[in-house]
Chains A and B, each alone.
Chain A
């Protein structure tokens, strides 16, 4: 009765923990196991440098995965992110090749990201087309523009300070990209879980029509997300260029599926309205550690991808099986009584 009087069953934190055991318990086990096995296989695994290195190798993907989390919770999808990364990197290379100073090229590239996102947003909100279709077309379109810019060249020879920004630690042991990741993560956690905008993202993802009828500026929220996705993807493309020190037409080719896999592995519902950024972080940690561990064990990149694919299916299959089993037992039990 006391909880009835208070009117609040659980604090959000408790709720998150129970959710964890429900949906992501399996993943937690995988993560712990991975870390134990990895640590026993390699002395350096648990060192800060190795962990940073681990993040650094996939940093562009995981940065984009953060905004993708919000988009999928909003019941949309952005398949054009990897192509936008490619376009941004190539646009940067092109500008650099044509003598535009880097200080000017970077904002121009970010603007391209914003425009690309706005272009997607226009067709999704104003024209009312499904985002799956719009961003699928732009997956091809933006990639095409990237190839137009650099053709079959590879652009290298960026100034040393630029490459260093992508590769060397900036503050303490952390390189710029990792700092950006942490800043973006903190910012998006606050936005999604503690602001009205975040609430709108969930409510729209849950029931878009209802949100319209409740006076929520649905199109504005969606447009904001897609523009943010464009801009963040462009930023990730720049980081890629700086880290690798070279730009080609196939930069980040096929990354979109990896990114979406990470988000879905984190328990974010593909139908929208459910999931948290914590789940996404969880999934990112698993993917990074698992890949690292498998690499230590000399497992090829392709096989690693396959294992993550299996993990993705299992993460949904196991809870499903459990509830089916429970249902089955209940029917049997009630049939006996």
Chain B
């Protein structure tokens, strides 16, 4: 049994106990103190007061190495692997006490065994830079296992995974639980918490709100504890009036070896969602339309005119905008001010004929969007990296809304942001649709898809599997199509 008592500024009077063979979920909005908790447990930070007991023994960690030695390991939302090393080496590199030499044959054999124990297929000699996020997580779990882990912390492990991969991960977690490993499972997706956890702890503003067996709580109860107010209607569908003016028409779009014959259309004021597993190539389709990686064949028509899009500049001229899934790498310049990030895509609007910037108008724009999108920042000269995830997401939105796009593509618009911000993003999307913008949303979050979509395109491994009407689609029918099980196969 392990016990933690911690106290820092981000985490106050917090205590938690975890038992072997238990999956203990920790939920809370962003900024609730979950990551501080993880960092203390894994030895990245030291708590300023309080104590931590492992098997009844008081411990003090000075670094991640100390925590590992005690059998505590963590896997993160964005897996930490070494891209230039292969799978086996990634698993065993940080091991201690193996002697000065690498025994390659043993390394590979042990890696094979570990991967087999997790019940997945993954070649142990593959370079990590070709792995999917899910595969990278598998590597991290294998690494933790190899360290004879007693307590495994999973920090939002499912947020980048598709439903199918989430299932696999849940399977792994259950296997570990059966072996007596204690798992701390942190997730924004409550349905997963209910699926897998034995107990659940709610954190808010760095304080412990409650710890209860999963049977004693309801989803609405958890949400209201997390946000400190009533859950309300987070995922309620909003009704929109239908328009039938075509905004975007895509026919037989093909990028060799990536996706083929994708055809769909979006009307003005319509929300079209792309559902599918990770690896369904939905992002690749979006990137072709946005001109980052143009397709090899097929037609794209904007309005009624067939167009050629060879670069993001081309796409933007046609009124197409793409809000990336990866804020950190593709969305924002983290060390630049909010205002510079917000005006980047439309900087020409703020330049004079000879290219001079009008700073006053730039600030005016940033303030306008701060009000409109409720971006919480004391001033717009603040570095965008200092803002919370949800507010960063809104700055990214401001950047693209300022381009006044006719067609707006959102890629995982609510990944890794908390429940409150999620609802705000949804209402922004609905508002945009209301005003006649054609919207494409790529999302792996099925409740989100069902809440937003007028129509739903399901993709699987580069193939378009089908289109649903948003009102009649169900999670089951989408998953069935996305995993490639036609109804016949299910029957058989």
Residue numbers of A with Cβ under 8 A of B are 3-4, 6-10, 12, 15, 190, 194-200, 202-203, 206-207, 209-217, 273-274, 331, 334-335, 337
Expressed in whole angstroms, the minimum distance between the Cβ of A52 and any Cβ of chain B is: 31
A-facing mask of B308-337, CB < 8 A → 1, else 0?
000111011000001010000111111110
A-facing mask of B370-404, CB < 8 A → 1, else 0?
10000000111110000000000000000100000
CA distance A197 to B336 in the complex (A): 16
CA distance A308 to B173 in the complex (A): 58
Residue of B with least CB distance to A195:
B355
The reply to whether the CB of B356 lies closer than 8 angstroms to some CB of chain A is: yes
Expressed in whole angstroms, the minimum distance between the Cβ of A156 and any Cβ of chain B is: 43
Expressed in whole angstroms, the minimum distance between the Cβ of A83 and any Cβ of chain B is: 31
* Given A8-B381, A200-B347, A213-B331: 9 more A-B contacts, CB < 8 Å: A196-B351, A203-B333, A203-B344, A206-B333, A206-B334, A210-B332, A214-B345, A214-B399, A216-B344
Given A197-B355, A210-B333, A212-B292, are A10 and B381 neighbors across the interface (CB < 8 Å)?
Answer: yes
Q: Are B356 and A194 in contact (CB under 8 A)?
A: yes
Complex partner residue of A8 from B331, B347, B379, B399, CB under 8 angstroms: B379
CA distance A274 to B48 in the complex (A): 34
The reply to whether the CB of B340 lies closer than 8 angstroms to some CB of chain A is: yes
Expressed in whole angstroms, the minimum distance between the Cβ of B445 and any Cβ of chain A is: 22
CA distance A83 to B491 in the complex (A): 74
**Residue among B8, B316, B332, B366 facing the most chain A CB atoms (10 A cut-off):** B332
Contacts of A210 in B (CB 8 A): 329-333
Expressed in whole angstroms, the minimum distance between the Cβ of A42 and any Cβ of chain B is: 43
Contacts of B313 in A (CB 8 A): 215, 217
Given A210-B329, A273-B336, are A335 and B48 neighbors across the interface (CB < 8 Å)?
Answer: yes
Residue of A with least CB distance to B348:
A196
Expressed in whole angstroms, the minimum distance between the Cβ of A107 and any Cβ of chain B is: 25
The reply to whether the CB of B80 lies closer than 8 angstroms to some CB of chain A is: no
Q: Are B340 and A199 in contact (CB under 8 A)?
A: yes
Q: Are B379 and A214 in contact (CB under 8 A)?
A: no
Q: Are B357 and A334 in contact (CB under 8 A)?
A: no
Expressed in whole angstroms, the minimum distance between the Cβ of A11 and any Cβ of chain B is: 9
Interchain residue pairs with CB less than 8 A apart (11): A4-B379, A7-B367, A195-B354, A198-B357, A199-B344, A206-B336, A207-B333, A214-B345, A214-B399, A273-B336, A337-B48
Q: Are B334 and A207 in contact (CB under 8 A)?
A: yes
Contacts of B315 in A (CB 8 A): 215
Q: Are A6 and B379 in contact (CB under 8 A)?
A: yes
Contacts of A207 in B (CB 8 A): 329, 332-334
* Chain A interface, DSSP helix/strand/loop, else mixed: helix
Q: Are A199 and B292 in contact (CB under 8 A)?
A: no
Q: Are B345 and A209 in contact (CB under 8 A)?
A: no
Expressed in whole angstroms, the minimum distance between the Cβ of A206 and any Cβ of chain B is: 4
Contacts of A214 in B (CB 8 A): 312, 344-345, 399
The reply to whether the CB of B350 lies closer than 8 angstroms to some CB of chain A is: yes
* Chain B interface, DSSP helix/strand/loop, else mixed: mixed
Residue of A with least CB distance to B382:
A9
The reply to whether the CB of B18 lies closer than 8 angstroms to some CB of chain A is: no
The reply to whether the CB of B363 lies closer than 8 angstroms to some CB of chain A is: yes
Q: What 10 pairs across the A-B complex have the smallest Cβ distances?
A: A206-B333, A9-B379, A196-B351, A215-B312, A195-B355, A207-B333, A215-B316, A7-B367, A334-B48, A214-B345
CA distance A216 to B292 in the complex (A): 12
Complex partner residue of B356 from A8, A195, A209, A337, CB under 8 angstroms: A195
Q: Are B381 and A15 in contact (CB under 8 A)?
A: yes
Residue of B with least CB distance to A15:
B381
Q: Are A274 and B340 in contact (CB under 8 A)?
A: no
Q: Are A203 and B340 in contact (CB under 8 A)?
A: yes
Q: Are B381 and A213 in contact (CB under 8 A)?
A: no
**Residue among A10, A210, A215, A217 facing the most chain B CB atoms (10 A cut-off):** A215
Residue of A with least CB distance to B370:
A7
Contacts of A190 in B (CB 8 A): 356
Contacts of A273 in B (CB 8 A): 333, 335-336
Expressed in whole angstroms, the minimum distance between the Cβ of B261 and any Cβ of chain A is: 26
Contacts of A15 in B (CB 8 A): 381
CA distance A322 to B356 in the complex (A): 38
Given A206-B336, A213-B324, are A194 and B344 neighbors across the interface (CB < 8 Å)?
Answer: no
CA distance A149 to B81 in the complex (A): 51
CA distance A331 to B62 in the complex (A): 13
Complex partner residue of B350 from A10, A196, A209, A337, CB under 8 angstroms: A196
Expressed in whole angstroms, the minimum distance between the Cβ of B332 and any Cβ of chain A is: 6
CA distance A200 to B399 in the complex (A): 15
Q: Are B332 and A4 in contact (CB under 8 A)?
A: no
**Residue among A10, A194, A196, A217 facing the most chain B CB atoms (10 A cut-off):** A196
Q: Are A7 and B335 in contact (CB under 8 A)?
A: no
Contacts of B367 in A (CB 8 A): 7
Mark out the residues of chain B between 282 and 314 whose CB falls within 8 Å of any chain A CB in the assembled complex. Answer: 290, 292, 311-313
Contacts of B333 in A (CB 8 A): 202-203, 206-207, 210-211, 273
CA distance A211 to B335 in the complex (A): 14
A-facing mask of B144-176, CB < 8 A → 1, else 0?
000000000000000000000000000000000
Contacts of B46 in A (CB 8 A): 331
Given A8-B380, A274-B335, are A213 and B322 neighbors across the interface (CB < 8 Å)?
Answer: yes
